[in-house]
């Protein structure tokens, strides 16, 4: 019996069993047999490091009737192993059903979906993308990743036609960005959702240096600003570290002068500079409502602020996310003055609280502060 015959029989059996145990299951609730089968599929795809086409076919049909609850851990894990498809196909069959569930479900479900999308992107750039470049080690080959016959690199070879894998990945990143931005708008800048959104962009911010994928993309303004003004200290530290990651990423991409995708990515530099300037104004320069900020808010726009220096209310000493840190530091330091002369000691204290992203940001982007650093 040939290998192809064995794979075809296995695919046919999986197709019938999944339909019988899940879609056509007559009882309410989860079937233990189906849960066991799904877990075996997860283990099998993890072992192969690729998805099974018949499993993808089942999932894309099941998602249109899925309530977001049945078999949730298994469904979301299987999604993270999908192969790279043409984006139009992936959007219609996979992303659109999940997008509809995303906006009518709880914050917890939203976070689970974003976690799955982050894992799916990591699978794309670490495992799938090197296959589309033509070499398993990810070096050389067609950097555009388009129109390649790579079926011989898969255990379950199934043609997907000619398409640009590069475009699929970049459009997928844009899709998740819009999902994060709208989700944060719906959920009122929920801190847990912010953390999962930043986790996705922490992967994006290292997508070239770690995975050799020649592309970089910043979070949209709605995500970045919500992180900068968050009342969660860890969120603030993460957005600071994120902007430092992007600096390294852009420096690496600048060396790829002959790559059109890397060159196109340089268009984000003005946007990144505006993010950096705005965050420097907030945390260090005392210009929270300066005219060159992203928000362009002035004192006349906030007459209710009864403060002697309203521009400093988001500084490292007074930022809502860091007020408790400043209070603890004041107690432990015996009431040391809160000014730039003692900032280094205070930022060392923030590092001891696992908030080192703020110090890294200031060391990277504030020249005068960097020169004072030991």
Q: Which residues of the chain have pLDDT under 50?
A: 135-153, 301-305, 307, 369-374
Contact between 216 and 210 (Cβ < 8 Å):
no
Q: Are residues 92 and 178 in the same domain?
A: yes
Q: Are residues 63 and 89 in the same domain?
A: no
Helix (H, G, I), strand (E, B) or coil at 293: coil
Q: Are residues 238 and 135 in the same domain?
A: yes
Give me the number of domains the chain comprises.
2
Does any domain span residue 88? yes
DSSP 10: H
Q: 46, 62, 81: which is the final residue of a domain?
A: 81
* Domain range enclosing 198: 82-148+162-372
Q: Are residues 185 and 289 in the same domain?
A: yes
Q: Are residues 139 and 191 in the same domain?
A: yes
Does any domain span residue 110? yes
Does any domain span residue 6? no
pLDDT recorded at residue 142: 41
Q: Are residues 207 and 253 in the same domain?
A: yes
pLDDT recorded at residue 309: 60
Does any domain span residue 1? no
Q: Are residues 100 and 34 in the same domain?
A: no
pLDDT recorded at residue 117: 97
Q: Are residues 46 and 122 in the same domain?
A: no
Q: 22, 52, 81: which is the final residue of a domain?
A: 81
Please, is 367 exposed, middle or buried when counting C-beta atoms within 10 Å of its C-beta (0-12, 13-18, 19+)? exposed
pLDDT recorded at residue 303: 47
Q: Are residues 29 and 166 in the same domain?
A: no
Q: Are residues 63 and 95 in the same domain?
A: no
pLDDT recorded at residue 17: 87
Q: Are residues 218 and 284 in the same domain?
A: yes
Q: At 217, list the tokens.
A: 């993309």
Question: What are the angstrom distances between the C-alpha of 64 and each of 59, 67, 90, 117, 266?
Answer: 9, 9, 13, 18, 38
């Amino acid at each position: 019996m040939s290998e192809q015959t064995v794979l075809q029989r296995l695919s046919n059996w999986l197709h019938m069993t999944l339909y019988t145990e899940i879609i056509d299951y007559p009882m309410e609730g989860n079937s233990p047999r189906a849960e066991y089968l799904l877990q075996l599929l997860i283990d099998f795809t993890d072992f192969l490091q690729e998805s099974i086409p018949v499993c993808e076919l089942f999932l894309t049909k099941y998602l249109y009737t899925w309530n977001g609850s049945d078999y949730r851990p298994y469904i979301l894990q299987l999604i993270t192993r999908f192969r790279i498809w043409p984006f139009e196909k992936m959007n219609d069959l996979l992303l659109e059903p999940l997008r509809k569930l995303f906006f009518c479900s709880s914050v917890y479900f939203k976070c689970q979906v974003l976690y799955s999308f982050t894992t799916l992107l990591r699978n794309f750039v670490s495992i799938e993308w090197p296959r589309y470049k033509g070499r398993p080690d990810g070096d050389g080959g067609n950097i555009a990743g388009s129109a390649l016959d790579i079926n011989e690199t898969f255990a379950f070879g199934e043609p997907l036609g000619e398409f640009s894998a590069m475009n699929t990945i970049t459009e997928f990143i844009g899709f998740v960005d819009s999902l994060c931005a709208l989700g944060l708008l719906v959920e009122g800048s929920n801190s847990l959702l912010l953390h999962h959104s930043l986790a996705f962009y922490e992967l994006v911010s290292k997508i070239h240096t770690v995975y050799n994928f020649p592309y970089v993309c910043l979070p949209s303004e709605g995500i970045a600003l919500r992180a900068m003004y968050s009342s969660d200290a860890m969120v603030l530290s993460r957005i600071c570290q994120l902007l430092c990651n992007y600096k390294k990423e852009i420096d690496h991409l600048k060396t790829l002068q002959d790559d059109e995708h890397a060159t196109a990515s340089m268009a984000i530099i003005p946007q990144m500079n505006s993010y950096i300037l705005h965050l420097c104004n907030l945390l260090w320069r005392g210009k929270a409502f300066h005219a060159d900020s992203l928000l362009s808010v002035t004192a006349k726009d906030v007459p209710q602020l009864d403060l002697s220096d309203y521009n400093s209310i988001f500084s490292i000493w007074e930022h809502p996310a860091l007020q408790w840190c400043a209070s603890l530091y004041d107690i432990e330091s015996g009431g040391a003055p809160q000014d730039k002369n003692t900032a280094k000691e205070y930022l060392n204290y923030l590092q001891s609280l696992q908030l080192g992203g703020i110090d890294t940001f200031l060391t990277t982007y504030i020249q005068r502060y960097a020169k004072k650093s030991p």
